[in-house]
Chains A and B, each alone.
Chain A
Amino acid sequence: MTVLGPFLFGAPLALFALLSLPVIWWVLRATPPAPKDVELPSLRLLEGVEPKEETPARTPWWVWLIRTLAAAAAIIGLSQPVYAPGARNEAPDAGGALLVVVDNGWPSAPRWSELVDAATATLDTGGRDAATHLLLTAPQTLNTDPAMRLSRADMGKRLSSLRPQSWSTDRTEALERLKDSGLKPARIFWASDGIEDEGGRAFAAALSSMAPLSVFAAPPKGPAAITGITSQTDSVSVTLRRVQPRGEERSFVSALTLDGSALATAEAVFNDGEREAVASFTIPAAALSRIARFTATGRQGAGTVWLWDSSNRSRRVGLVDAGSVAQPLLSDMHYVRKALEPFASITEGNIEALVSTSPDAIILTDIGQILPEDGKRLTEWVEEGGALIRFAGPHLAAQGDDLLPVALRRSSRALGGALAWDEPQAMAPFPANSPFDGLSIPPDVRIKQQVLAKPAPDLARKTWARLADGSPLVTADSRGSGTLILFHITAGPDWSDLPYSGTFEQMLRRSIAAGRGESVSDTEGAYSPQLVLDGYGRLAAAGANAAPLKAADFGTVKPSEAHPPGLYQGPSGTRALNAGAGARPSLIESWPLAARLLGDAEARSLRLAGPLLSLAAILLALDLFIALLVAGHLPGLGRRAKGAAALLLVCALGFSLTPPADAQSYRYQQMPDGSYRRVSTAPNVVPITGPGRATQKEIDAALVMRFGYVETGDRALNERTRAGLSGISSVLNLRTSVEPDEPDGLNLETDALELYPLIYFSTPEGAPPLSATAIAKLNAYLRSGGALVIDTRAGGTVGTDTDVAPLEGLLEGLDAPPLQPVPTNHVLARSFYLLDDFPGRFANRRLWIEKTGGPNAPRGDGVSRLFIGDADWISAWAVDGRGRDLYSVDGGPTQREMARRFGVNLVMYVLTGNYKDDQVHLPALLERLGNGDEDEADPRLPERLPEGGPQ
């Protein structure tokens, strides 16, 4: 190699060809470009005409400049120049063996190419024939033997094929290997990552004592590693560390999903004097669960990748809001929500929306019957691994479905009531096989009421918690890969004290964890590597050298070849082993005095032959292109060239003027279909326009109270119902302060039911079942406090029971509470008039209302929301446009009057609830006041009441 300034030349003689450049230049200058070739038939006219001015055709100056440059570049390229500023400093005759030491742990990855370049450049210096040896500091089975002699060409190949490893270096071990090999190098070159971590200074001192040492240190610039992470329900903080504390630096961290798409980016700022910086993400919990890893943006290396396993994530829980929201503090969900809020992200909604977001667990409180379609969705979701947690309650006690772990008896068991012998029960210790095992049993918790499981052989196996008397309190069963969990009590304090205790929270938490087939305590079992990181921080399938890792070792083991950083699959989900976890990389500040430190520029060599020859080729291609253009062989290009150039210029300007799109103001929002979309967080102003989407009918119904009736396929029946409601409305207008407007016909599927305090449903004969949508809306209507009157209009003789068979088909899926005939002294019989019977067209028929248990009735103040009868009231109420009665009534005008009084009472009951409940005690009050002694007749008899009002 010939040295010429900072350049080395492999074939210096080729430079003599530069002498021929003037000749080439002269020849090129004299050769004109090819003329444009044109056909012209009238050329004959020009015969004999000599051109006045035939300027000598000359090559334009820029053409020969291009050609000359191309020739020069080709000549220089052929002389194989190498730019190596460090070459001058080496003693050219330093013979003897050269030892190249390369740090190939994860800290070298960001500047790996520089390290390899420096090591390769050092090969260009010194004697050509001296042997070279290689020592790698990252521990590895079958590591290179430093004693092995390598020629310089082999060494170059070897260096360029090296890859950084994803674990860190062990220089003590490397030094031992060097000593064992007995090599006596004449010169040592150390391409170092410059990190003190593994005894860097001691290693440098040892090397320096063996032979003259040159060091090229390339410590990672900016963040070196992600060292830790903390997460809350909807935020994550990522801790970055750099190797030196000087200066202010900014860096970005990306949160990536498993397939590598970025969900969010956050900035981390290293302040001057600090080694650590924190990047904080605020991400909705649902999106958070999709994050698989964090990387320092734009940096390669295993240290700046943090794989996020499932163990320290918050769970996503869906709560099905079924109950009325009028009294949120009394609802069961309130307790669940309060218990879960600290450690889980909570979504509320209906079953369909929740399942579409596939949370870890869904919690249902006291829902007796799930709609068939929702049931199907839930079943699919559970079988894919969800945890469905249900709480018992009056509805569930009345009728269960098949999404339960055990079969239930159709009633609840009350403990410690007035008529019960046994006391409220305490909880028994948790069974050993239960996930609740290990939780403390609060001694003061008492269970007052529960639903009972039917005895079955496997009941004990399914039981997670039981009462002191052995009856199950929590049962669970697996369905597909998911779990069904039933708490046999309500989530609120109606049935037990458990929701008041802290154990309740723990139990819920462990139940939710079951949703992914994980248990909370997982120190057992071995985890086998599934995906591992390579040195550049890319995920790859685990290789043969990766060995399984014991669960207890996570957190203590350091990544190595046997346990490379990556994701490990084990009995309770995946666990991650991260290269940068807890790492404290810092710079080697002081080097041995004898060692010579190479700067960045000196350690680099650049082979220029390839670039120069490429330049020559590109120039020649350009020249060819120009020649074709001048000769007119590229038609159209000349015309378009200007336009294209202008377009390019505009594009370039546009790009340069576009403000850099950075990751500052967006977040991810969940769409209704379960996907995520990036939305701007800029203020979003929605202009308010007009009356919105409410129809005139809805507006009218909201402004003036009126009744609704269900429109059926039978038009005559609709008319009759309308006339009936219209009649009772006019009666109300005349006699009471309730002044309803004309009734509305309702389509159950499309109309807004919640605007009507009472909906009358005259069931047609042989009608098809209501659609699922209609049933769902009716269920919602009933839960939110509406009143539904169902009239089968069948009538019948005295003593025949109400025939509800057609209703079962028609209203399949209606979440009907348990029913009872109206008891005597019920408030319905006294809410306005005092009534004995509730006649319509038919007298002496039964009226069924919701069974309201004692004072512990869970909601609605014990007011029934459902009325089922067959007395055909609307026919008795019906009047035509002029107020004349339309239909005959069995008992004549007296019964019609009674029917109207029932209507008034019904409306009063629906509107005022149990306000008149104290009327039940009226006889006793009257008696005490001494008013009952005149006549022994029942004061409830309507004949004795003044016309127009009860009291």
Chain B
Amino acid sequence: MTPSSDLRAEAEALARQLPNLNFKAEASEAAHIGSAGRRRAGTGEQFWQYRRYAQEDAADRVDWRRSAKGHELFVRETELETARTVLFWCDPHAGFNWKGDGDIRTKADEARLLMLTLGIMMSKDGERIGALGAGRTPSFGKRAVDRLAEDISNGAGRPFPPPPRTSATLVIASDFYDPIPEWQARLKPLAAKCPEGVLLAVAAPIEENFPFSGRVKLHRPGADTDRILGRAETMREDYQRKFAAQREALLALATQIGWRFVSHTTGKPSLHGAARLKLAVESFGARG
């Protein structure tokens, strides 16, 4: 597994190459009234400034306590607070934390890299980020990225996490090789709480191509089962059909619960995957 500092450095480099996140501001303002100040006047709880009364202001906006101190009328403005919480989860399965011959990094590392890239960009924009099921409250800023990098690497051995207490945007990274009903059962509680989410499916080139031939004993990491194929090349078409069917079923599942589905292969450039992941997350802003 790549050390998290290396992943962090690469993620920073990727984030620099991508354009800034672009949520549609109105949509997010309408959807969430969070705690993150936007450094401008707007709807929020925190005081922002007093300004002089203008003709178009309604009378009930006059802050009389301030106005009583002098001869002029003042209007009290609060700081605009819009924030989105994004929670990430990376599959800790041994089969996900695996790389084929010739791959640069494991599938899990690739997924973490993409998610960290997204997290870095979001925390810069003031969004709150965190790991799903890590127990720490999501936050923003530099510390938040450090925490995220720590938390999404520490998921090993834990069961699939329950939904968060408050609604958030979720990013779920796995290879999704478990049967679709299983995944449906896992995702349903999450989708019920959080209407926005992205499924990030990361695969290795070997898994896509099935480049075996002859007598082969196949073995799944993290499981005791193995299987001997007499002539592996005869199974290639079956396998590829199965693989495509799994991907289609996942897409259908994501659409059904209103989430997005992003697939990525470790052999392809990470920037490519990061850009598509970013696009998927941004699309939630556009929807509303």
Contacts and interface: CB of A to CB of B under 8 A. Distances in A.
A46 B227 contact: yes
A41 interface: yes
A764 interface: no
A632 to B, nearest CB: 9
Interface string A25-61: 0000000110111111111111001011111110000
A43 B221 CA distance: 9
B239 A45 contact: yes
Nearest to B235: A51
B216 A43 contact: no
Nearest to A56: B230
Interface residues of A, number: 22
A41 B220 contact: yes
A486 B238 CA distance: 107
5 interchain residue pairs of minimum CB distance: A41-B95, A54-B230, A43-B220, A35-B215, A42-B207
In the complex, which of the residues A33, A36, A54 has the most CB atoms of chain B within 10 Å of its own CB atom? A36
Given A36-B215, A39-B220, A51-B235, 8 more contacts: A35-B228, A36-B216, A43-B220, A44-B179, A46-B235, A46-B238, A54-B230, A56-B230
A44 B234 contact: no
A52 B234 contact: yes
Contacts of B235: 46, 49, 51-52
B110 interface: no
Nearest to B216: A36
Interface string B219-233: 111110111111100
Given A38-B212, A49-B242, A51-B229, A43 B218 contact: yes
A38 B216 contact: yes
Contacts of A33: 215
Contacts of B217: 35-38
Contacts of A56: 230
Interface string A899-940: 000000000000000000000000000000000000000000
B238 A44 contact: no
Nearest to B217: A35
B46 to A, nearest CB: 49
A118 B89 CA distance: 86
A40 B220 contact: yes
Given A38-B212, A39-B221, A45-B246, A53 B175 contact: no
A167 to B, nearest CB: 69
Given A44-B177, A49-B238, A54-B231, A38 B243 contact: no
Contacts of B95: 41-42
B88 interface: no
A55 B238 contact: no
9 contacts: A38-B212, A40-B206, A40-B218, A41-B93, A41-B95, A41-B98, A41-B107, A45-B243, A51-B231
B177 A42 contact: yes
A633 to B, nearest CB: 13
Contacts of A39: 98, 218-221
B103 to A, nearest CB: 12
B181 to A, nearest CB: 13
A43 B229 CA distance: 12
Contacts of B219: 37-40, 43
A57 B220 contact: no
Contacts of B222: 41
Instruction: Determine which residue in B175, B212, B217 has the highest number of CB atoms from chain A within 10 A of its CB, and name it.
Output: B217
Nearest to A46: B239
Contacts of A40: 206-207, 218-220
A55 B214 CA distance: 10
Interface string B245-279: 01000000000000000000000000000000000
A38 B207 CA distance: 12
Nearest to B222: A41
Given A41-B207, A46-B238, A55 B230 contact: yes
B177 A53 contact: no
Interface string B55-99: 000000000000000000000000000000000000001111010
Task: Name the residue among A41, A45, A54 with the largest chain B CB count within 10 angstroms.
Answer: A41
A41 B215 contact: no
A560 B217 CA distance: 76
Contacts of B239: 45-46, 49
A106 B218 CA distance: 71
Interface in A60-112: none
Contact of B231 (A41, A43, A53): A53
B116 interface: no
Q: For chain A, what secondary structure do more than half of its interface residues adopt (helix, strand, loop), or is it mixed?
A: loop
A55 B212 CA distance: 16
Given A40-B206, A41-B96, A49-B238, A55 B231 contact: yes
B98 A57 contact: no
A188 B182 CA distance: 96
A748 to B, nearest CB: 72
A859 B79 CA distance: 123
A53 B98 CA distance: 30
B243 A42 contact: yes
A778 to B, nearest CB: 77
A40 B231 CA distance: 16
B203 interface: yes
A55 B179 CA distance: 29
B6 interface: no
A245 to B, nearest CB: 68
B5 to A, nearest CB: 26
A39 B239 CA distance: 15
B246 A43 contact: no
A38 to B, nearest CB: 5
Contacts of A43: 218-220, 223, 225-227
Interface string B92-135: 01111010000000010000000000000000000000000000
A50 to B, nearest CB: 9
Nearest to A48: B242
Contacts of A44: 177-179, 220, 223
A45 B231 contact: no
Nearest to A54: B230
A44 B227 CA distance: 10
Contacts of B227: 43, 46
Given A35-B216, A36-B217, A42 B230 contact: no
Contacts of B96: 41
Contacts of A42: 95, 175, 177, 203, 207, 243
A938 to B, nearest CB: 112
Contacts of B220: 39-41, 43-44
Contacts of B246: 45
Contacts of B94: 41
A55 B232 CA distance: 11
Given A32-B215, A33-B215, A35-B228, A41 B234 contact: no
Contact of B218 (A38, A53, A54): A38
A49 B243 CA distance: 12
Contacts of B230: 51, 53-57
A36 B230 CA distance: 10
Contacts of A41: 93-96, 98, 107, 175, 177, 204, 207, 220-222
B65 to A, nearest CB: 65
Contact of B234 (A45, A46, A51): A51
A915 to B, nearest CB: 97
Nearest to A53: B234
A670 B212 CA distance: 67
Nearest to B237: A52
Contacts of B98: 39, 41
A36 B231 CA distance: 11
Contacts of A55: 230-231
